[in-house]
Structure 1
Amino acid sequence: MARKILVTGAAGFIGSNFVHFLVANTDDTVTVLDKFTYAGNAASLAGLPENRVSVVHGDICDAELVDDLVAVSDVLVHFAAESHNDNSLHDPKPFLDTNIIGTYTLLEAVRRHGTRYHHISTDEVYGDLELDDPQRFTESTPYNPSSPYSSTKAGSDLLVRAWVRSFGVEATISNCSNNYGPRQHVEKFIPRQITNIIVGERPKLYGEGLNVRDWIHADDHSSAVLRIVEAGRIGDTYLIGADGEKNNRQVLELILTGMGQPSDAYDHVVDRPGHDLRYAIDSTKLRTELGWRPSFPDFERGLAATIDWYRGNEDWWRPQKAATEAKYREQGQ
């Protein structure tokens, strides 16, 4: 039976990919609620069928608007977040507003209407691991956030858990590793390097590039979220990862060679303050309990598909590029 799904932040990178995934793989109708900040892009929702997808321009902190939308929805999937670490270091307040107050506003609405709620979070709430640590994050790893961004996401996760326990809200949480794929803003690491090469600029590497991330294609994140919405146990947390650990230098060198460039054709720039060393996800629970598997278990194959997308969609990213690079130059990055 087709559901009515409300997706917040779906003009952004991961949310828009989720909407495309829903349209392609379900009969559900989708309402997008997005504030259309700099990270939201109407072009990311272009081409979707109007009888399946409607778009509302609004703020998740607007309690009246949120209540109206939740009242007519079967499921709320909450992607909306301020999510860029560098931005959180320069101005933390928007992260508090969106990630804490926005989540509270949504939770109160689903509490009133009995709507199923799924909360999208990040592995960054767990802090970081040493580069030589054999351990990976699990659902029982203690929270240890290190930035305004990750601390506000950790706070939003705790709000969800409290609303489940205190008020019986039907909610689940997923914490995902770093996403890559189509429709990601060019301020982010992988699309920044790809688009630099396309426009003839040298890519940029923070410090020595030894920081490790556990990469997952956005389509695999989407399929995991849908599986959790359909079969996840209420009140539970699921970690989403595709065993894609690579350090930043390895990723950049793969991008360069995949685009026909020398593997050392990049510049080092000043490192980010408090740059976490390593993230690594253990997704055993998701795989064993819910039977989920990634469709891009090979990072190199997913990266090649991502490069092809940015090469074929310059009209999507070029309007963002000049302003983004100007901002990085001001920061010495």
Structure 2
Amino acid sequence: MAPKIFLTGGTGYIGGSVLHTIVTSHPKYEVTALLRKEPEAFASTYPNVKVIKGDYDSSDIISEEASKADVVVHNGDSDHEPSLKAIIAGLLKRQTSSFLLHLSGTGIVSDWDTPTYLGKLNPKIWSDTTDLAEISSLPDHALHRNTEKILNDTIAQHSDQINIAIMCPPDIYGKGKGLAKTWSAFIPMFVQECKNLEVAGFYYGEGTNTRSWVHIDDLMTVYLKVVEAAAAGGGGFDWGKEGYYFAGTQEVSHIDIARATDAILKKHNFVEGSELAQVSLDQIDTMAAYVPRFPNLGRYLFASNSRTRPHRAEKLWGYKGTAPRLLDVLEEEVLDAVKRVQG
């Protein structure tokens, strides 16, 4: 019998890519997608995907669909508690055990909240195998901590009924595979702030703060492996307390991104002259203010460190990134972001 998959966030950058990857890799899976608005080409592109109309606040619908699914892949708003609670409630109604893949993110281990390493390289590198105790005890203000606490409580109480995998990608680049949003967040936001400052690149402090990155194609490899394992009943993969999956394939410092962006924008005559701008923390704190539910988002994006290693995926199947690296394709990313900013 084909496994039943229920997926949320199917029009987002990650969720749309996950949906496309699952459907094209396993056309016999019975996939149901929760969509607030169905893209025009959705039915013709994915004729066998069942669409349920609703959004993250449609708790009754989400719970009902989760109760029918062998595997739930929850994408989109990583911090939305009602939708996660509805999924868990639905899965607990099942007579047999099930699997839940929840999208979190390495923002949870970012050092944005303390000044020690803002604009500097933090030597701490987080592992998804040896640092789980520390990750599970992070302070409540850590990004995505609210939903990870819900998942940890569920694991403690219901690990016999729900097998949970926390999917924790770093910053992502590359064109998404879905039908709606196909771009990520960091590079467009950086280009937008460059425009606001009328510079071609900027940094805070030394600019050596460093983040892990993954191409969307490599991230989909991780997702597909974990979904396939879930569909096969677990497949020897790690779940529950051990079910934490980083996905980074490389590290890049902020100053390297700023320098490369500066060169690209000057090459294409989007800006003239001037050196990279060293900005103040007060300036950083005004950035990305159009996302009010994430105060200090500027610090997180442009001044913090978030360094992670995908040791679990490396252990399970020898995971290694095969897609082009960020700096090799940054020109394409920046030019696409410029179009969005100008548009």
Q: Normalising by structure 2, what TM-score?
A: 0.70
Q: Is 1:110 matched with 2:91?
A: yes
CA distance in 2, matches of 1:47, 1:251: 39
The answer to whether the 8 A contact 2:65-2:90 is kept is no
Structure 1 counterpart of 2:162: 169
2:216 to 215, 218, 223: 218
CA distance in 2, matches of 1:54, 1:301: 38
CA distance in 2, matches of 1:25, 1:305: 27
Pairwise mapping of residues 14-25 of structure 1 onto structure 2 (< 5 A)? 14-25=14-25
The answer to whether the 8 A contact 1:205-1:267 is kept is yes
Q: Deviation of residue 297 (structure 1)?
A: 5.9
2:314 to 271, 274, 287: 287
Residue aligned with 1:170, SS: strand
Which structure's CA Rg is the greater one?
2
How much identity, in percent, do the aligned residues show? 18
CA distance in 1, matches of 2:200, 2:143: 25
Structure 2 counterpart of 1:31: 32
The answer to whether the 8 A contact 1:104-1:159 is kept is no
The answer to whether the 8 A contact 1:125-1:150 is kept is yes
1:53 to 32, 49, 53: 49
Structure 2 counterpart of 1:207: 204
User: Can you give the 5+ residue segments of structure 1 that lack an aligned partner in the other structure?
Assistant: 83-94, 323-333
Residue aligned with 2:129, SS: coil
Report the AA paired with residue 30 of structure 1.
V
Pair 233,132 (structure 1): closer, same or farther in 2 beyond 3 Å = closer
CA distance in 2, matches of 1:7, 1:302: 30
Structure 2 counterpart of 1:158: 152
CA distance in 2, matches of 1:67, 1:137: 33
User: Size of the alignment, in residue pairs?
Assistant: 295
User: Can you give the 5+ residue segments of structure 2 that lack an aligned partner in the other structure?
Assistant: 230-236, 286-295
CA distance in 1, matches of 2:195, 2:43: 25
Q: Deviation of residue 225 (structure 1)?
A: 1.4
Q: After superposition, what is the alpha-carbon deviation per residue over 1:211-235, rounded to whole angstroms, capped at 9, x for unaligned? A: 3211111222121012122232332
Residue aligned with 2:32, SS: strand
Structure 1 counterpart of 2:288: none
Q: Which has the higher contact order (CA 8 A, sep 6+)?
A: 2
CA distance in 1, matches of 2:189, 2:255: 14
Q: Normalising by structure 1, what TM-score?
A: 0.72
Pair 132,266 (structure 1): closer, same or farther in 2 beyond 3 Å = closer
Pair 268,13 (structure 1): closer, same or farther in 2 beyond 3 Å = farther
Report the AA paired with residue 117 of structure 1.
L
The answer to whether the 8 A contact 2:258-2:276 is kept is no
The answer to whether the 8 A contact 1:34-1:57 is kept is yes
Report the AA paired with residue 73 of structure 2.
V
RMSD: 3.8
The answer to whether the 8 A contact 1:127-1:146 is kept is no
Greater per-residue helix proportion:
1
Residue aligned with 2:308, SS: coil
Structure 2 counterpart of 1:330: none
Q: After superposition, what is the alpha-carbon deviation per residue over 1:261-297, rounded to whole angstroms, capped at 9, x for unaligned? A: 5794668471233835311112122112133332226
Structure 2 counterpart of 1:228: 226
The answer to whether the 8 A contact 2:170-2:213 is kept is yes
Q: After superposition, what is the alpha-carbon deviation per residue over 1:170-190, rounded to whole angstroms, capped at 9, x for unaligned? A: 222222212223256889321
Q: Is 1:190 matched with 2:190?
A: no
Structure 1 counterpart of 2:284: 271
The answer to whether the 8 A contact 1:238-1:283 is kept is no
CA distance in 2, matches of 1:124, 1:30: 29
Report the AA paired with residue 259 of structure 2.
E
Residue aligned with 1:80, SS: coil
Q: Is 1:136 matched with 2:126?
A: yes
CA distance in 1, matches of 2:154, 2:329: 32
Structure 2 counterpart of 1:327: none
Report the AA paired with residue 240 of structure 1.
F
Structure 1 counterpart of 2:58: 62
Residue aligned with 1:215, SS: strand
CA distance in 2, matches of 1:217, 1:75: 25
Q: After superposition, what is the alpha-carbon deviation per residue over 1:131-152, rounded to whole angstroms, capped at 9, x for unaligned? A: 2415333334213257464332
